[in-house]
Structure 1
Amino acid sequence: MVKPPASTFGAVKSETLHVPPLLDGRIADLLDGQKIVMTGVTGFIGEQILWKVLAECPGTTVGVLVRPKGSVTAHQRVAGLLGKKIFAEIVAAAGGVDALMASRVEVISGDLPGVPDLPRDLDVLVHCAGDVSFDPPIDQAFMTNVVGTRALLTKLREACSDDDGNLVKVPHYVHVSTAYTAGRRRGAIPEAAHVHNVDYESETAAALAMKDHIEARSRSSEQLTALRRQAEELHAKAGYLTTSEDTERRRQEWVKQELVSAGTERARSLGWTDVYTFAKALGERVVTDLGADFRVSIFRPAIVESSLKYPYPGWIEGFKMADPIILAYGRGQLPEFPASPDAVIDIIPCDFIVNGIIAVCATRPTVGQPEFYHGSSGARNPLTFRGIYEHVRSYFAKHPYTSGQGSTPLATWNFPGAEPIEKFMWVAEKGVRVGNKLLSYAPRGKNTRKWASALDKSAKQLEFLGKYLTLYGEYLQSELHFVDDCTLALHNSLHPDDREKFGFDSASFDWTHYMEEVHIPAITDPVRRLEAARKRRQGRSSTFRDLKPAEPGTVLAAFDLDGTVMATNVVETYLWARLPELSPLRRAAEVARVAAQLPLYLGAERRDRGVFLRSIYRRYAGADLAALEEYVDQHLAPLILDRMSPAAIRRIREHRDAGHTTILLTGAIRPLTRPFEGLFDTIVAAELATDADGRCTGFLSGPPMVGESRSAWLQHYAKLHDIELGGSFAYADSHVDLPMLGTVGNPVAVSPDIGLMRAAKARGWSIVEWPAMSPLPRWKMS
């Protein structure tokens, strides 16, 4: 790749080029004795700015605006921040965290837009806090980037004014924005204010009012009906409370998505790519208006990724814009990508941005003349999407991501553009919907769960690709570059002794070294280690815990029966129990009648398990309950025990040995649970109602124990016996048992159906397989 000249600064005639304020000494000397107040110190860039100032500017003190978080105070959050690895040498030199904070770091407890009074001795205010998501809800974007900026500038003026409101000290306000405030422009973007006539006051008022408007829409009968039906389609069997909780969750998600869509469409209607860049652009206008009599510098980073050198190569906090793409490609999850191959992805290492911001802090811009700087690489050291693909492919060819890639060869991207990929996604999404519909009728089993997991993986990949198409689509086809003449001029004015530690010339590094030796290892190595640790745990999450002895009666372990402890179902057990007392002819007739009713039973089971159980138990009408119990004891007990899972038996005994109270909660009839009386401390089962002669009426003496009734029973039992449910356990196989599992601190999904499997994965619950001894039906009747 042929690079442009290392400097575009000298390529333009001096009389036409704006010369920014330059440095006339070493940065540490220029900032000596000054106080820099910062926002966003707990964020990616802010954390490194704090580190750099404390490490390299010993005569500079810092004030940090940090909000309390729950019960953790702002002071405690800053102390925790200073306890990180990168601050270790600084803390040790100061004599500890408390000593460092007492001498050089002032904590200002507050938030945006609720800004408290700022220190009156401040010299520079660096505002680098803000929502870095590209798709925040419109009200949040404006509250952070416009209202918050306005509040901060108001407090800055108060801190620098006398009691009469007269400015007695001119501060230097450094605003960290984004290069993409340029919006949907093409070509060269100058380091200057963007020309537009959008009224930020009216846009802010409309954005904040949008939340109330959409909240009201979400509560309309039409919208709530639609959301409730979606929830019922998945959770109706689990019960009304589960359905209502999911309905409310869907309503809140709908509100958020509508606010996101409102922000995106409003931004695009006015010429910006998304609400993030739109609100950031209006925030810049707030700065130039309210800071007209301040010294103002606006620094616009492009896509900030891991550090090249400092505090160490590859330093990064969290995943940034390009990182999910890199990981997905290495895992074999991105067969193609809808970017333009010659579009520039404007990546810049974090330490270059931090160095640039600190250098800006050491300048003295003219009052009333805002200075603009681009922290970018695209103008003088461009990296195209084709280029980053080649670097990523080269890295993973040498260092395969075997846990996700396996033997699959690395994908070859041909960059076909967005339209073919959108068509592919439409077909694939339709295939996933059809597959899920078919799976809803498939019998439960390992293969069904395997197919469902494969569909879920495909859906997740499609969701990932769809998000990138929606969120970053225009960035993938970018035809602009950010002129960085002012930034380069500032870099060139660095004192020779500062060039190594404070340099930020974006043309000074090589992409092969940065991408393949610094950045990609920095984001992939921690993920590889995490996935290796998960593999060592054999896929079990922490909810399937090794059992520890407990004080008897303080911990319970609740078990479902059918499909969890025992491989059978209520239709099968009905036939076991009912047929022996019938004549051969009546047996055949009863089997035929049950078979004919199976479609109705299955339909009832899909809608409401309680209705399904009642319909089965109606068939016990006329049966002698005492004879049924005797038959279970003498003939069925061996068969029932033979159908139990050895793994379930071991786990039940482990709980008993640990002093836990073992409970069987089942919708099966009481006689069929008699063989389990030696295993469980308490058995809750369906009670068949009888007449005066002891014959079953076909009805139950109370509602069957299914769905939310199990959760309610456990809560009542725990309260009566002073048992802590947070340390207790529950085991079940069906989505209908979601409420019961959610009641305890250690829920375990056992050979689950698809609904429970997906819920367990989403919640981080353990999923285990407990095969029974006799997976095939066995008939044993006298």
Structure 2
Amino acid sequence: MSTPPASTFGTVDGVALHTPPLLEGRIRDLLAGSKIVMTGVTGFIGEQMLWTVLSECPDTTTGVIVRPKGSVTAQQRVASLLKKKIFADLVAEAGSVEQLMADRVQVIPGDLPDVPELPRDTDVLVHCAGDVSFDPPIDQAFRTNVLGARSLLTRLREACSDENGDLTRIPHYVHISTAYTAGRRRGAIPEAAHIHTIDYEAETRAALAMAEHVEARSRTAEQLAVLRKEAEAEHRQAGYLTTSEDTERRRKEWVKAELVKAGTERARSLGWTDVYTFAKALGERVVADLGSEFRVSVVRPAIVESSLRFPYAGWIEGFKMADPIILAYGRGQLPEFPASPDAVIDIIPCDYVVNAIVAVCATRPTVGEPEYYHLSSGARNPLTFRGVYEQVRRYFSEHPYTSGQGSTPLATWTFPGAEPVEKLMWVADKGVKVGNRLLSFAPRGRRTRTWATALDSSRKQLDFLGKYLSLYGEYLQSELHFVDDCTLALHRSLHADDAERFGFDSADFSWDHYLQDVHIPAITDPVKRLEAARKRRNARSTTYRDLKPTEPGTVLAAFDLDGTVMATNVVETYLWARLPELSPLRRAAELARVAAQLPLYLGAERRDRGVFLRSMYRRYAGADLARLEGFVDDRLSPLILDRMSPEAIRRIREHRDAGHTTILLTGVIRPLTRPFEGLFDTIVAAELATDAEGKCTGFLSGPPMVGESRSAWLAHYAQLHGIDLAKSYAYADSHVDYPMLHAVGNPVAVSPDIPLMREAKRKGWSIVEWPEMSPLPRLKMS
């Protein structure tokens, strides 16, 4: 294994300014008989840390602090963790997961900052857990990274003290931080405490108070009015309950966004890039203060990515900082990137990080003198953003990401800087907004849905790039150089028998091999397989399922009429039913009046479909109901049936054959549903009120069945008849029908309007295109 000379940042005339405690034997021997307690073992670094200790230190026992998750206990979560592929050999050797846990893994249920009592035989406590998001809400960042560290150190002291509170043993506390606690500095960053005068207790109190303050602001009348109006603009047609649910969703999102913004601004006002690094830096100060009676080591990894060798090349859990950028480029979704081409992206493989942490655990630092280690590559094996771009471009040139890229050539990045990219994004954002505004007036159809999908794709791309500019903008221009002399000295002190397995010298591998052969395939291949599986699943559909016979009366299938089962609308059906009984002169006059009222009708429908239906049915005033029913039976039935979708008819019959109760829920007047009486078990329609002579009054005998009325009717019907709505189906085409679709376990959006299409995609509902029905033949009026 190559061992290039140390960087010059931490040396004077070739002599190191500080020599950390070195290893004095093999790691397995140094840790033999020790109890290592860990946090964060369900996370990326923590999982491999547990695997490494169990695999390479056979005489070491572990304790793991894991929080219960819902109904899943901490023990069950650890058992699931140990069933993963990398633990297979360990489980086989022990005989079972249960035996491995009994022999070597003590589960300690708990969470941060509410840390439980620690085992009194704890020798080393490795704190891997922490909020790793760069933009958590400010209170969450402080609870986890500051209060969590304080609680752990307090519990560690209790575990190592007698009943009088006097220390009986000196444990080793290993704190996993981040290299970016250096903040917005430039130049060389030494492996030492960062000098600042920030009062972490005052900042923590302020962060927690901010959460209460923002929560209170979100409940003011002014803020709720803004959020309610936004929800109404999107969901008014679906009903008040849907709107209120969306208002509350928006309120919670607003609270989170405000707390994220508060954290970012507070961090930057004090010299840090974001609240994550700010809270981590204050966490280090907590460690230095409360760990003054312990042996303390602080490990600062940079950007941790997939493993180079262990447990196997390319091992990774989830997406890390650089991975979404790599994938987006391969898919053809990043035409440009605002990084500085010669800025260093400080990547380090996960197994190098874990190896270094285990080695640190085996050292014996001086009590009260914390040791600091940078796990980075930039000092002695730098990789620039331009270098990453060239590597990624080369990889996707040789291995095209065909599912997203197609025949589109890979983008050529010129690295113009942030300002030109931000201007381009601003223009594109305006274009998407204008496009969506125009779409709101476009006629419904497959082409309109195609345009909407393209706009949604552009919006997603803009949001993605915007997020990265916001989160990682300063990292893309970074001029930090992390000194890693202590880390290199520790690596060089490895026993000869440990050098290959536990090495962590960041200069001993090539970026060409790591990126081309290990990392990029590790993140792209699983995504390709996942996308292929998703395509197969979508081809089968998720909620548009093959129907299997069920016990009759236990499952229902509800269908909307207009635009779903039948190609028509309320205005058109009114003209069908009303005009034939009028004289030619009155027909012409009625057509003219309806045409003149259409803008008002359309406006009413956009605001409230119930109001629209009532307005439309006013025009039936004076019509003879019996004559209307006779006209439907004698003349309209074949024409109505001719407008039905063949796919709808087929699906309804499949439901009936499966023993499902078929229901038609429509705002159409009852007479016009007479042709469907042999197809549906139950029909719920608008009932026209009549006077003593059987003439329509222009009013309904009850509220129209629209929006939330449909979901309420389904819930009541299901309760009365023992129907399982979770196994039931619903089919509709309009956003106003969202409550009905949401009420069942198998909702299907049929040739939907744009708002429903977008909701269906968000919810993972099936979207089906039922062919256009045959055009209505000319109706003879006499």
TM-score normalised by the chain length of structure 2: 0.98
2:601 equivalent to 1:598: no
SS in 2 for 1:497: coil
Residue 500 of structure 1 and its aligned partner are, at CA, apart by 1.3
Shift of residue 541 of structure 1?
3.9
**1:536 and 1:727 mapped to 2: Cα distance?**
22
Distance 1:537 1:16 in 2: 59
Q: CA deviation at 1:428?
A: 0.8
State the partner residue of 2:724: 724
Aligned CA distance change for structure 1 residues 476 and 517 (closer, same or farther; 3 Å) = same
Partner of 1:492: 492
Amino acid in structure 1 at the alignment position of 2:472: Y
Cross-structure match for 1:414: 414
State the Cα distance separating 1:14 from its structure 2 match: 6.0
CA contact (8 A) 2:664 2:683 kept: yes
The Cα offsets for residues 135-183 of structure 1, whole Å up to 9 and x where unpaired, read as: 0000000000001110010000000000000001000000000000000
- Map 1:356-371 onto structure 2 (within 5 A): 356-371=356-371
**Which residue of the partner structure matches residue 391 of structure 2?**
391
Q: Please tell me the root mean square deviation across aligned C-alpha atoms, in Å.
A: 1.3
1:214 paired residue number: 214
- SS of match in other structure, 2:236: helix
- For residue 496 of structure 1, give the secondary structure of its aligned residue in structure 2: coil
**Residues 97 and 4 (structure 1 numbering): CA distance in 2 closer, same or farther, change over 3 Å?**
closer
**Is the 2:3–2:505 contact (alpha carbons within 8 Å) kept by the matching residues of 1?**
no
Give the distance between the partners of 1:12 and 1:563, measured in 2 at CA: 80
**2:704 equivalent in structure 1:** 704
Map of 1:270 onto structure 2 = 270
How far 1:753 sits from its partner (Å)?
Answer: 0.4
Comparing 169-178 and 398-407, the one that deviates more? 398-407
Whole-angstrom distance in 2 between the partners of 1:401 and 1:86:
28
Q: For structure 1, list consecutive stretches of 5 or more residues without a partner in the other structure.
A: none
Aligned to 2:6: 7
- Alpha-carbon deviation of 1:7? 2.9
- Tell me, in whole angstroms, the C-alpha distance in 2 between the residues paired with 1:482 and 1:303: 12
Give how far 1:8 is off: 2.0
| 1:589-626 alpha-carbon deviations (Å, 9 max, x no partner) | 11111111111110001000001111111111111111
SS of residue paired to 1:25: coil
Letter in 1 for 2:68: P
Q: Which amino acid aligns with 1:430?
A: K
Once the two structures are superposed, the pairs formed by residues 254-653 of structure 1 within 5 Å of their partners are 254-539=254-539, 541-653=541-653
Indicate if the aligned counterparts of 2:566 and 2:773 stay in contact, CA closer than 8 A.
no
Q: Is the 8 A contact 2:183 2:271 kept in 1?
A: yes
Note the C-alpha offset of 1:585: 1.6
Tell me how far apart the structure 1 counterparts of residues 366 and 620 of structure 2 sit (CA, whole Å): 93
**Cα-to-partner distance string for 1:475-514 (whole Å, 9 max, x where unaligned):** 0000111111100111111111111111100001110111
Query: 2: CA distance between counterparts of 1:305 and 1:679?
Result: 59
For 2:5 and 2:746, locate their aligned partners in 1 and report how far apart those are by CA, in whole Å.
60
- Asked if the contact 1:137–1:259 (Cα under 8 Å) also holds between the matched residues in 2, the reply is yes
Is 1:92 the counterpart of 2:92? The answer is yes
Give per-residue Cα distances to partners, 1:727-757, cap 9 Å, x unaligned.
1111110000111111111111110000000
Partner of 2:669: 669
Corresponding residue for 2:60? 60
Q: Which residue of 1 is the match for residue 153 of structure 2?
A: 153
Match of 1:70 in 2: 70
CA contact (8 A) 1:541 1:764 kept: no
Closer, same or farther: CA 729–582 of 1 in aligned 2, 3 Å: same
Match for residue 123 of structure 1? Answer: 123
Query: d(CA) in 1 for partners of 2:781 and 2:13?
Result: 102
What is the aligned partner in structure 2 of residue 744 from structure 1?
A: 744
| Correspondence for 1:101 | 101
Aligned counterparts of 1:329 and 1:662: Cα–Cα separation in 2: 48
Q: Residues 241 and 538 (structure 1 numbering): CA distance in 2 closer, same or farther, change over 3 Å?
A: closer
Q: Secondary structure at the match of 1:530?
A: helix
How far the C-alpha of 1:724 sits from its partner, in A, is: 1.0
Shift of 1:94: 0.7
For 1:679 and 1:317, locate their aligned partners in 2 and report how far apart those are by CA, in whole Å. 52
Count of residue pairs brought into register by the alignment: 780
Corresponding residue of 2:713:
713
Say if 1:209 and 1:505 are closer, same or farther in 2 by CA, change over 3 A: same
Deviations 1:292-325 (A, max 9, x none): 0100000000000000111011100000100110
Matches within 5 A, 1:163-202: 163-202=163-202
In structure 2, what is the Cα distance between the partners aligned to 1:510 and 1:746? 51
Distance 1:612 1:534, change over 3 A: same
State how far apart, in whole Å, the 2-side matches of 1:406 and 1:752 are: 28
2:41 is the alignment partner of 1:41: yes
Q: Deviations over 1:261-319 (max 9, x none)?
A: 00000000000000000000000000000000100000000000000111011100000
SS for the counterpart of 1:663 is strand
- 1:204-245 deviation digits (Å, cap 9, x = unpaired): 000000011001111111100000000000011111111100
Residue 772 of structure 1, CA deviation: 3.1
- Measured in 1, the distance between the counterparts of 2:186 and 2:7 equals 19
Take 1:284 and 1:177, find their aligned partners in 2: how far apart are those partners? 7
3-state SS, counterpart of residue 173 of structure 1:
strand
Quick check: 1:540–1:767 contact (8 Å CA) kept in 2? no
Q: Is the 8 A contact 1:439 1:448 kept in 2?
A: yes
Q: In the alignment, residue 50 of structure 1 is paired with which amino acid?
A: L
The 3 A distance-change label for structure 1 pair 15 and 514 is closer
1:759 and 2:773 equivalent?
Answer: no
Matched AA of 2:727? G
Flag the 1:778–1:26 CA change in 2: closer, same or farther, 3 A: farther
Shift of 1:6: 4.9
Q: Which runs of 5+ in 2 are unaligned?
A: none
Equivalent residues of 2:35, 2:122 under 8 A apart:
yes
1:109 maps to a residue whose letter is P
Deviation readout 1:61-98 (Å, 9 max, x if unpaired):
00000011111111111001000010000000011101
* Superposed displacement of residue 13, structure 1: 3.8
Q: 1:92 to 1:781 in 2, by over 3 A?
A: farther
User: CA separation in 2, counterparts of 1:61 and 1:631?
Assistant: 86
Q: Counterparts of 2:40 and 2:232 in 1: how far apart (Å)?
A: 43
Deviation at 1:547, TM superposition (A): 1.1
Q: For 1:779 and 1:379, how far apart are their aligned partners in 2?
A: 83
Query: Equivalent pairs: percent with the same residue?
Result: 81
The whole-number CA distance in structure 2 between the counterparts of 1:4 and 1:391 is 25
SS of alignment partner, residue 509 of structure 1: coil
Q: Distance in 1 between matches of 2:314 and 2:69?
A: 28
Paired residue secondary structure (1:103): helix
Deviation at 1:198, TM superposition (A): 0.1
Offset of residue 539 of structure 1: 4.7
Q: Secondary structure at the match of 1:327?
A: helix
Query: Residues 16 and 485 of structure 2 are in contact (CA less than 8 Å); yes or no, is this contact kept in structure 1?
Result: no
1:773 CA displacement: 2.7
Q: Is the contact made by 1:540 and 1:766 (CA closer than 8 Å) also made in structure 2?
A: no
Contact 2:307 / 2:351 at 8 angstroms: preserved in 1?
A: yes
